[in-house]
Structure 1
Amino acid sequence: MPNTRRWDDDPFTRRARRENYPARSVYKLQEIQKRAAVLRKGDRVLDLGCAPGSWLLFAAEVTGPAGRVVGVDLTPVTVALPAHVTVITGDVLVLAENPAGLPGGPFDAVLSDMAPATTGSRGVDAARSYHLCEAALDLARQVLKPGGAFVCKIFQGEDFRGFVDAVKAEFAEHRIFKPQSSRKASSEIYLIGKGKK
């Protein structure tokens, strides 16, 4: 069982509290933005697995009020959000099968920080992560504008290379990136696709 006290005392967690973000994950997206510039002012952004809301807040800051940010998560988001942010409490797996009712599209960027409920078994957790990533990429294929960007967290496992190849097939350029703000022991890594074909 993880030592949650150690995680609560983590410098990124303390910084997130000071800067009024609900979670330390915001710094992962900030690093991705600094490295790959996946978000621009005025963009329409879809954030999958958006709770507790840190990525929503950061995306809203970057896109500004001329942009639109739509978040989807099974867990309700309880933080105060700007007027140009909409949250849907729902299942991304269901949405990927029928995105017609999704407001705000087509999108300039699709972000996924989704993670499965973990079991402690790296193989099982990686397979579950891959399933979520497939759904995120499938949704991105349907709702991203040509030239759009895709960011997806995946746990490294036997399906990792296949997912990299799937992203490469959809985007003009791709990157594999492990933010410094990711926990050292975590097998999470981010795939970044830019220039949707």
Structure 2
Amino acid sequence: MAAAVTRLCWAPQCLRSLHMSVGVQKAKTGAEQLWLARQRRDPYVKTAHAQNYRCRSAFKLLEMDKEQKILQPGHHVIDCGAAPGAWSQVLVDKVNSLGKDPAARVGFVLGVDLLHINPLEGAVFLPKCDLTDPATHRKISALLPSGQADVIVSDMAPNASGIKDLDHQRLVSMCLSLLDLSDSVLRPGGSFLCKIWDGGESDLIRDKLRQRFQLLRTVKPKASRMESAEIYLLGKSHRNKRAAN
């Protein structure tokens, strides 16, 4: 898959929400003005500023973890499409990768993205790596303690082409690649969370998840904008036998 297709979502929305330059604030186009107005009204953008999250998307993961109990101290987690690092910020805290809680197990966070990711204490980043490339899967396995993960999470997405069906198919292909990754590194009993834009091939991902996991849920966090077609598919209790060998 070409780099233009697989570019992961270091969303301009996230960057602008945190760093609105004077030039951006003086946006000339109607679309930019509408976008800026929405950002100013968005309570998650304001709270992200207040709590020093790199992007409002942090609240999607926080909400899903609160409801679905995905993360625990000591977990080894792969954050797919990690840029700009908001999900990794949540993960560092939830799995205790900095060891701030001396009574809890210390976890490990590995973030991967095709784009640059600014360093984050408590996380190891693999920037400029294509998650659809088997070579990236090998790098991930080499960096994971014992070569295995307890949880894989993904908020990645391709660059939007404006063609809904094409964008949907591209994201489906990316999710299928992550399922291949789960076969090689996810522990039996582990969890898998991925974003998908709901569409005609969503059931293909659901079927693949049912084959690999004992429990499948579809989640739409409140922090996900109502007009967005994004949903999250959560597989729990991985049946993987290969990773156990």
Considering the TM-score relative to the shorter chain, is it more than 0.5? Answer: yes
The residue type equivalent to 2:205 in the other structure is: F
Q: Cα distance 1:44–1:8, how it changes in 2: closer, same or farther (>3 A)?
A: same
Distance (Å, rounded) in 1 between the aligned partners of 2:87 and 2:136: 24
Gaps of 5+ in 1: none
Taking structure 1 as the reference length, what is the TM-score of the superposition?
0.94
CA contact (8 A) 2:130 2:136 kept: no
Alignment map for 1:112-191 (pairs within 5 Å): 112-191=154-233
* Equivalent residue, structure 2, for 1:81: 120
Give the alignment partner of residue 93 of structure 1, picking from 132, 141, 147. 132
Residue 8 (structure 1) shift: 2.2
Distance (Å, rounded) in 2 between the aligned partners of 1:153 and 1:187: 10
Q: Which runs of 4+ in 1 moved over 4 A?
A: none
- Is 2:55 the counterpart of 1:23? yes
Distance (Å, rounded) in 1 between the aligned partners of 2:208 and 2:82: 23
* Equivalent residue, structure 2, for 1:35: 67
Deviations 1:45-86 (A, max 9, x none): 0000000000001000000131100000011112x512x310
Residue 21 (structure 1) shift: 0.5
The residue type equivalent to 1:110 in the other structure is: I
Over the aligned positions, Cα root-mean-square deviation in angstroms equals 1.4
Deviations 1:135-162 (A, max 9, x none): 1111112110010000000011111011
- Residue 132 of structure 2 aligns to a residue in which SS? helix
Distance (Å, rounded) in 2 between the aligned partners of 1:99 and 1:179: 28
Residue 98 (structure 1) shift: 5.6
CA contact (8 A) 1:7 1:13 kept: no
* Equivalent residue, structure 1, for 2:150: 108
Q: State the number of aligned residues.
A: 194
% of aligned pairs identical?
Answer: 34
Distance (Å, rounded) in 2 between the aligned partners of 1:114 and 1:192: 15
* Greater fraction of residues in strand: 1
- Residue 120 of structure 2 aligns to a residue in which SS? coil
Distance (Å, rounded) in 1 between the aligned partners of 2:131 and 2:52: 27
Distance (Å, rounded) in 2 between the aligned partners of 1:170 and 1:97: 23
Distance (Å, rounded) in 1 between the aligned partners of 2:176 and 2:200: 14
Residue 99 (structure 1) shift: 2.3
Distance (Å, rounded) in 2 between the aligned partners of 1:6 and 1:51: 24
- Residue 184 of structure 1 aligns to a residue in which SS? coil
Residue 31 (structure 1) shift: 1.1
* Equivalent residue, structure 1, for 2:88: 56
- Is 2:44 the counterpart of 1:4? no
